[in-house]
């Protein structure tokens, strides 16, 4: 056997009567849909229920699978300590998932558990399920800060593990939708909130799982969703399969979106549903086309980081510039101007590294770019060093900075035109480039620069602005 069905469900604790104490009556449609989900799971009689939860242990660069034989939990922190759970884990399935991950050098395992207690993202679905079905063990899996493609790949590994163990498995993708749907909601309103809910319900209603990759990180952050990556893991379980889907309900009356859908496999394997392969092939073609049209600044950055990552060799400048000049003229600025430069690297739309210099530290712009490309790809403390396998999927931008000028107030800034440097007398300094996705206001731009410089709100600071020439 393998994955028999999957379910997209929310996890508001108020939906549990002992927690909601009458408040659950606001979402009767969601409750009725949840009851249907529980009935369907009971009728399937699975060996194992795999639950992906945004509130389980989560790391930026690792998927955590809960270890051990069992775990307990309760809604005590929500005022209902009498509602308790004592669940057995499917240790064999956990081991198989981790074994497959290891075979693919994939960052997933049972290390680093932060809390053995079950989280509410796991317990809310279980409350409905256990009212109808007492059988089956569980597997609890957290999300990560890794790209959506890795979440999808984890779903594929879960499916493979179920098949190799001949397990009857159902997947429960636990996650609320946007938390910013109503002014009166706990998180307020953002226009991206309703936009997210409309898009996600449409995508899941059509089982158009490839479109899940098109939700940008910035858009999801502004919508304040919590379930997207959980849904992507679930989608990966269906790679290569046609899926029959049904939308049970969607509600937004509390200011948070609750969506419930079901997914069942249809017979046969379908190459057009190899969605990850298709997506990666499309991305690689788009990036290849973009690389062929990149200017010499970006080609220099790419050559520098690729040469270093593959051969641990630094470029010889100016000699190696001829390799990327493509028969054209080499801008005089590259070899005869000194200036700061930033190299930004993205992978699948997510930042993968960014390091630069505010002012010149070398004898020319070319050296500045080449050095910073190596640093951005191998020494950004926020990320692991980039590997050879990642090189074809990287998108690179280069910003050459103009001279910084002192300004008197934020009124002289423009987030699209100017970058900002915020500094203090004791030498702390933070910089933010202009025209960045998601940075829409000067206040936000300055706040991020302050945070980067370790400057606290209320401290006295000084402002400078600068322009950049961006190369793509």
Per-residue pLDDT tens digits for 356-366: 999 999 999 99
Per-residue pLDDT, 321: 86
Distance in angstroms (rounded) separating the CA atoms of residues 127 and 457: 43
* Average pLDDT over all residues of the chain: 95
With a pLDDT cut of 90, the percent of the chain lying above it is 89
Q: What does each C-alpha distance from 217 to 160, 232, 347 come to in angstroms?
A: 28, 13, 12
Which of 118-127, 228-237, 318-327 shows the lowest mean pLDDT across its residues? 318-327
Q: How far separated are the first and last CA of the chain, in Å rounded? A: 48
Per-residue pLDDT, 350: 86
Residue 216: strand, helix, or coil: coil
Find the Cα–Cα–Cα–Cα dihedral 339, 340, 345, 350, rounded to 10°: -130
- pLDDT, tens only, 157-216: 999 999 999 999 999 999 999 999 999 988 999 999 999 999 999 999 999 999 999 999
- Helix spans in 131-182 (H): 148-165
Per-residue pLDDT, 362: 96
- The residue among 329 and 376 whose pLDDT is bigger is 376
Residue 319: strand, helix, or coil: helix
- For the entire predicted model, the pTM comes to 0.85
- pLDDT, tens only, 216-263: 988 999 999 999 999 999 999 999 999 999 999 999 999 999 999 999
Per-residue pLDDT, 438: 83
Matching residue, tokens 């950049």: 468
- pLDDT, tens only, 370-421: 999 999 999 999 999 999 999 999 999 999 999 999 999 999 999 999 999 9
Per-residue pLDDT, 324: 84
Residue 309: strand, helix, or coil: helix
Residue 1 pLDDT greater than 80, yes or no: no
Per-residue pLDDT, 359: 92
């Amino acid at each position: 056997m393998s994955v028999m069905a999957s379910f997209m469900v929310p996890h508001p604790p108020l939906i549990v009567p002992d927690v909601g104490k009458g408040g659950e009556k606001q979402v009767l449609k969601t409750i009725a849909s949840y009851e249907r989900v529980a009935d369907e799971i009971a009728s399937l009689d699975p060996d194992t229920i795999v639950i992906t939860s945004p509130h389980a242990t989560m790391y930026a660069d690792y998927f955590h699978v809960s270890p051990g034989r069992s775990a307990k939990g309760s809604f005590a922190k929500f005022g209902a300590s009498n509602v308790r759970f004592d669940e057995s884990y499917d240790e064999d399935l956990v081991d198989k998932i981790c074994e497959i991950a290891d075979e693919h050098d994939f960052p997933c395992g049972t290390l680093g558990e932060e809390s053995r207690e079950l989280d509410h993202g796991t317990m809310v679905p279980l409350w409905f399920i256990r009212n109808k079905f007492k059988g089956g063990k569980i597997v609890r899996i957290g999300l990560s800060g890794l790209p959506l493609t890795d979440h999808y790949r984890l779903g594929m590994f879960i499916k493979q593990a179920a098949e190799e163990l001949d397990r009857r498995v159902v997947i429960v993708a636990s996650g609320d939708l946007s938390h910013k749907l109503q002014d009166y909601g706990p998180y307020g309103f953002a226009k991206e909130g309703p936009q997210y809910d409309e898009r996600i319900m449409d995508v899941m209603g059509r089982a158009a799982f490839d479109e899940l990759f098109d939700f940008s990180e910035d858009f999801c952050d502004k919508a304040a969703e919590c379930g997207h990556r959980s849904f992507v893991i679930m989608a990966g379980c269906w790679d290569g399969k046609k899926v029959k889907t049904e939308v049970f309900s969607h509600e937004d009356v509390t200011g948070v979106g609750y969506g419930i859908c079901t997914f069942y496999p249809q017979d046969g394997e379908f190459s057009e549903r190899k969605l990850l392969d298709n997506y990666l092939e499309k991305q690689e073609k788009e990036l290849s086309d973009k690389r062929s049209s990149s200017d010499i600044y970006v080609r220099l950055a790419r050559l520098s980081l690729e040469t270093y990552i593959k051969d641990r060799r630094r470029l010889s400048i100016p000699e190696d510039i001829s390799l990327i000049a493509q028969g054209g003229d080499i801008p005089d600025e590259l070899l005869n101007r000194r200036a700061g430069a930033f190299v930004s690297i993205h992978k699948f739309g997510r930042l993968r590294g960014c390091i630069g210099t505010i002012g010149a530290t070398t004898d020319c712009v070319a050296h500045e770019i080449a050095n910073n490309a190596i640093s951005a790809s191998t020494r950004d403390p926020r990320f692991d060093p980039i590997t050879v396998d990642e090189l074809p999927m990287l998108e690179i931008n280069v910003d050459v900075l103009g001279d910084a000028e002192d300004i008197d107030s934020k009124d002289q800034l423009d987030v699209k035109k100017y970058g900002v440097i915020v500094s203090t007398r004791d030498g702390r300094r933070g910089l933010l480039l202009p025209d960045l996705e998601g940075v829409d206001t000067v206040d936000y731009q300055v706040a991020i620069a302050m945070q980067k410089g370790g400057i606290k709100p209320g401290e006295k600071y000084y402002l400078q602005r600068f322009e950049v020439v961006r190369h793509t």
